[in-house]
Amino acid sequence: MTIAHDLFAEANPAFGTFLVLGFCRSHVTASETPPALALLYLALPIALSQDMEPSFSATNAATGLLAWLNRYPDVRIELGNRLDASKQIVSSAVRFGVTSRALALNDDGTLTMGSAVPSMTKADHLPEEVKSAIRRAQRLGTWMGKAGSAASVFSAFGVVP
């Protein structure tokens, strides 16, 4: 039997918003500051990349962004193409999140939880591959929150926002 992978599910703005929420919660927990919107254009494409799962499963929240990048330098290979290809997915997720009031965009370009945030327990019954994407987004939120400014995070990846 052939199992089909639904590529459109990953591009679903509601799913993207759910990943953004996981990222934002973890970032705020790690740094006590909301993440810069620009970080989502780096974090979501990586979180959505199932091929990066082995590098995440060998780490934990305490590993840190720089240690992860040092252990897995191949994460940077073709990263620019991956980021370019996912701009619309990230933008749609942010627009959906703000419109649905799950997210709030602040005047300083940061994102916070909105007034209608869905519970993370909604993910409990999702397929394992989907839960893995959520965990990757949360892990990236923690690592990027502890790494410092958005400029520091982009520098670590070797990309310019």
- Say what the pTM is: 0.88
Q: Can you give the residue ranges of every domain in the chain? A: 10-157
Q: What is the token pair recorded at 30?
A: 């790690």
The DSSP line for 19-86 is: HHHHHHHHHHHHHSSPPBHHHHHHHHHHHT-GGGHHHHHT--TTT-HHHHHHH-GGGGTTHHHHHHHH
Helices 79-99 and 37-47 pack at an angle, to 10 degrees, of 120
Instruction: Identify the band that residue 144 occupies on the pLDDT scale cut at 50, 70 and 90.
Output: very high
pLDDT at 128: 79
Q: For residue range 75-124, what is the model confidence (pLDDT) as tens digits?
A: 998 899 999 999 999 999 999 999 999 999 999 999 999 888 877 776 67
Cβ partners under 8 Å of residue 98, min gap 6: 104, 105, 114
| Whether the Cβ atoms of residue 22 and residue 141 lie closer than 8 Å to each other | yes
| Tens digits of residue pLDDT in 31-81 | 999 999 999 999 999 999 998 899 999 898 899 999 999 999 999 988 999
